[in-house]
Amino acid sequence: MSRIKSFNPVNGELVGEVETTTRSEIDAMMAAGHRAQKLWAARPLKERAAVMQKLAEHLKAHRSDIAEIVTKEIGMPIDQSYIDVDDTGLSFLQWYIDHAEEAIAPQVLHEDDDVIHTIYREPRGLACSIVPWNFPFSSVIWQCGQNLLSGNAVILKHSSECPLASKVIAKLFQEILPKDLYQVVFVKGAEGDYLTEQDINIICFTGSTKVGRHLYEVAAKKFIPVLLEMGGSAPGLVFADADIDAVLDSIYFNRFFNCGQVCDGQKRLLVEAPIFDEVVEKLKVLVESKKVGDPFEEGTDFGPLSSSGQMKEVQGQVEASVSCGAKVICGGKALTELGPAYYAPTLLTNIKKEMRVWNEEVFGPVLPIMPFNGEEEAIELANDTIYGLGAYVYTTDHERFKRVASQLESGMVGLNNQYYLKPWNPFGGYKLSGMARHQGIFGFHDVTELKIVATEK
């Protein structure tokens, strides 16, 4: 039987391996998932929420186990792995549990002397969830928490870059949830197509736009809904009236958290011409003050990228842009003395639209910086992308912010130090960044069916 191997990106050494799931095993999991879903959906919402609360407490008790395997497997600095577990994982799950009734309880839309019209949100059935490697724990919570509370069962495929984290998380889920309600397959590449070809009722996907478009076609043929959260190339717009010192840490964080491997990360920085040199210099000083090293060491800001392959992809994007005239302000090179997947945090200027770092999603610690003159040009440059996930605006003029935010082709916009990533807010984007939404009341709505019932009095 074939196996999926996991390598530590710090040193390239084998961390472990898991057996791949066979097609016959997938067939059996499908049948079991449908049976488990019917039993789960028949239980009152309060009972489902009580089980999910036990799951939340169980996961919290094992938070160190999860954070450590995440750091070992994808190289995320350990304090950032705890953010993945606690801040964008467990806290979001708790919000789902606390607000599930508000989101999906029956609601009376109309009542008179003769009739009551009630709207119900019902489970869709068996959800196929496909999640990426960059946030191994919170991605599972985002994909599965609202599905499970809504009464759906889940068959999950994690990225083959983090099979061990997937196995640890699955074990914890299965120790609490009813049998076969949450199942995990381990497959690579095209074998994932066999999973989505089966008798499933909704596809929930987080990952690349290329794969997301393929899954959209699969879902269309099956005539089932999809929830797609795909790529991003979020712009940051720094206007001349911005309080640079007050927002500098936010600019840094929005680009470089998790070594820049964030879907809605600030991947292009636009700076108004009068303050361009000042912003570049202050960012350079800040970036060069950060520690690159062992992700398990306290105080490490940058570990390796998730794999040597990911590092080479980023390296190729930078080298191609430099060959077209981009100027390296800092970084711009692989740090092979540290390990096979390390890349120096990088700032680039003299950016042109035909460069790869401008027109492709760069999933690594690289920030291209371009000047602009006035709001109109800033908005034009910001929208010059196939993506529309996140956007960041830095200004002290709130009226300007309102004008700019209303014209940005983006599903989410933050002002200065305010970040939109909260469990009550919808998460998703415009254009090729996807469709439907995670989080908030909206996330529950996108994984349930809508039924109106008219009852005589």
Average pLDDT of span 255-280: 97
CATH number at residue 272: 3.40.309.10
- Among candidate residues 33, 419, 440, 39, the one with its CA nearest the CA of residue 262: 419
CA distance 92 to 56: 10
Q: Once rounded to an integer, what is the mean pLDDT over residues 331-346?
A: 97
pLDDT higher than 90, residue 190: no
Per-residue pLDDT for 189 more than 90? no
Question: Do 208 and 266 reside in the same domain of the chain?
Answer: no
In a domain, 352, yes or no: yes
Q: In which band, very low, low, confident or very high, does the pLDDT at 1 lie, cut at 50, 70 and 90? A: low
Look at the chain and count its residues.
457
CA 423 to chain centroid, in Å, comes to: 13
Confidence category of residue 188, pLDDT binned at 50, 70, 90:
confident
Confidence of residue 22 (pLDDT cuts 50, 70, 90): very high
Strands in 150-201 per DSSP E: 153-158, 182-185
Confidence of residue 246 (pLDDT cuts 50, 70, 90): very high
Question: CA 156, CA 376: separation in Å to the nearest integer?
Answer: 44
Maximal CA-CA distance, the chain: 79
By CB neighbour count within 10 A (0-12 exposed, 13-18 middle, 19+ buried), where does 312 fall?
middle
> pLDDT, tens digit, for every residue of 352-364?
999 999 999 999 9
Query: Is the same domain home to 288 and 371?
Result: yes
**Could you give the CA distance from residue 300 to residue 302 in angstroms, rounded to a whole number?**
6
Identity of residue 172: L
Residues 85 and 167 in one domain: yes
Verify that 243 and 216 share a domain, yes or no. Answer: no
Instruction: Check whether residue 106 and residue 255 sit in a common domain.
Output: no
The verdict on residue 427 lying in a domain is no
Residue 428 lies in a domain: no
Domain that holds residue 373: 234-422
Among 229, 259, 272, 361, the one annotated catalytic: 229
Q: How many domains does the chain have?
A: 2
Assign 3-state DSSP to the chain and report helix, strand, coil percentages, each to 5: 45, 25, 30
Asked whether residue 362 is domain-assigned, the answer is: yes
Average pLDDT, the chain: 97
Judge if 216 and 334 occupy the same domain.
no
In a domain, 191, yes or no: yes
Domain presence at residue 96:
yes
Q: What is the pLDDT of residues 309-335, one digit of tens each?
A: 999 999 999 999 999 999 999 999 999
Contact 417/392 with Cβ under 8 angstroms? Answer: no
162 catalytically annotated: no
Residue 344 domain-assigned?
A: yes
Give percent of the chain with pLDDT exceeding 70.
Answer: 100
CA distance 95 to 158: 23
Q: pTM for this one?
A: 0.96
Residue 113 lies in a domain: yes
Looking at the fold, whether 443 and 313 belong to one and the same domain comes out as: no
Whether residue 247 is found in the same domain as residue 367 = yes
Residues 287 and 368 grouped into a single domain: yes
Query: What mean pLDDT is predicted for residues 61-74?
Result: 97
178 and 255 share one domain: no
**pLDDT tens-digit readout, 73-106:** 999 999 999 999 999 999 999 999 999 999 999 9
Q: Which of 191, 259, 263, 361 is catalytic?
A: 263
Same domain, yes or no: 46 and 131: yes
Per-residue DSSP letter, 223: T
SS3 109: strand
Are 77 and 177 in a shared domain? yes
Decide if 298 is catalytic: no
